[in-house]
Amino acid sequence: MAAPKPGNRPANPQFSSGPCAKRPGWSIEALKGALVGRSHRSKPGKAKLEQVINLSKEILGIPADYRLGIVPASDTGAVEMALWSLLGARGVDMLAWESFGKDWVTDVVKQLKLPDVRSLTAGYGKLPDLATVDFDRDVVFTWNGTTSGVRVANGDWIPADRQGLTICDATSAAFAMDLPWDKLDVVTWSWQKVLGGEAAHGMLALSPRAVERLLNHTPAWPMPKIFRLASNGKLSEGIFKGETINTPSMIAVEDALDGLNWAQSVGGLEGLIGRSEANLKAVADWVAKTDWVDFLAETADGRSCTSICLKIVDPWATEQPAEAQAEIAKKLTSLLEKEGVALDAGSYRDAPPGIRIWGGATVENADIVALLPWLDWAYATVKAG
């Protein structure tokens, strides 16, 4: 017998982990003030870019002596820029526990070909042993593994008096998780994640120690213009005041400002974190009473409140070959799409098959709550064949 369909539907079925749902109430009208057809170097153009920097700093509580810049190519651009500009001065510990972290390991080992790299990796659902990290070396890690839904719980494992730099890809954490700025020398993120902006430029925050490295270390490799943060031993200060290296989309800039203004309207960082944690809690309460599903993250404090990754644990599914399990997850997410209750809720292409629900700040708790019975319905429907 077919499982009965739940009565309630999420008002917004957008649960993609990037680009993420727009903020509640967003419409194209939000972009009507965009400075289209004008130079980003004009006075009003530069003012908008500078406002993105200032509002981001204010909301995130970034220390006054940190620099924050808008850089090319979304989060990937910001991370690559940091790796290529800063690494090589000392040995590096590369931490990775899912797809994006592993990409950064590949870059440093195979592209930059640094001679002294330790890769500390863990499989999906786990974290590497953080106690083995050597902070006399530079350390590169992802705060929240978007494709496994595993985050570091806090920065307690990072010493304040470290010698190396900590370089943190925080793209699915910024604006939804507390980032301990004193423990982080480089932090990157993209507009397309927690505030629901457009993928375009990335954000790069640098501590005074990261700036010192930039000024005193010349990489052994050529540095294309698009990555250049300093030249002739001088920091390109303009980048941190809205003078972007290349041309940004002023529509994307307007949208980033819209997201930041909305963030303030819901109580700033505290409000944003509260919204995201409430979404995780709704899912966790449901998982606790549902026997076919569990978190991919193996510990409760490692569960992401943004990219919430779930695996099917029902023996009916887990006793089947890997390919059949992948097929079950695919059928489940296709049913959700067909019903229009959850779009893009499949796990990442390289991750174990399952469900990934974005719970970032722009996602309404009522929509997550309305979605959960549909997951039960879809699983029962797939199982019934």
> 75 vs 107, which CB is nearer to ligand PLP?
75
Q: Which residue has the tokens 């004008």?
A: 38
Question: How far apart (Å, rounded) are the C-alpha atoms in residues 222 and 208?
Answer: 24
Q: Which of 20, 30, 34, 75 touches ligand PLP by CB under 6 A?
A: 75
Comparing CB distances to ligand PLP, the nearer of 76 and 166 is: 76
Residue 64 identity (one-letter amino acid): A
- Which window, 52-60, 73-81, 179-187, 228-236, contacts ligand PLP (CB under 6 A)? 73-81
Taking CA atoms, 28 is separated from 75, 254, 368, in Å, by 24, 11, 24
Which residues have CB under 8 Å from 288's CB, separation 6+? none
**Interactions with ligand PLP, residue window 170-229 (CB under 6 A):** 171-172, 190, 192, 199
The residue range among 46-54, 72-80, 320-328, 336-344 that interacts with ligand PLP, by the rule CB under 6 A, is 72-80
Q: Taking contact as CB under 6 A, which single stretch among the options 168-176, 206-214, 218-226, 285-293 is the one that binds ligand PLP? A: 168-176
- In this structure, what token pair is assigned to residue 206? 């640098």
Say what angle helices 250-265 and 43-60 make with each other, to 10 degrees. 40
By CB under 6 A, how many residues form the interface with ligand PLP? 13
Cβ of residue 152: shortest distance to ligand PLP, in angstroms?
A: 12
Question: 80, 107, 169, 255: which one contacts ligand PLP (CB under 6 A)?
Answer: 169
**What character string, x for contact with ligand PLP (CB under 6 A) and - otherwise, covers 5-34?**
-------------x----------------
For residues 302 and 373, which CB has a smaller minimum distance to ligand PLP in the complex?
302
Give me the amino acid identity at 152: V
Contact pattern for ligand PLP over residues 110 through 149, marking x by CB under 6 A: --------------------------------x---x---
In the complex, the residues that contact ligand PLP under the rule CB under 6 A are 18, 74-76, 100, 142, 146, 169, 171-172, 190, 192, 199
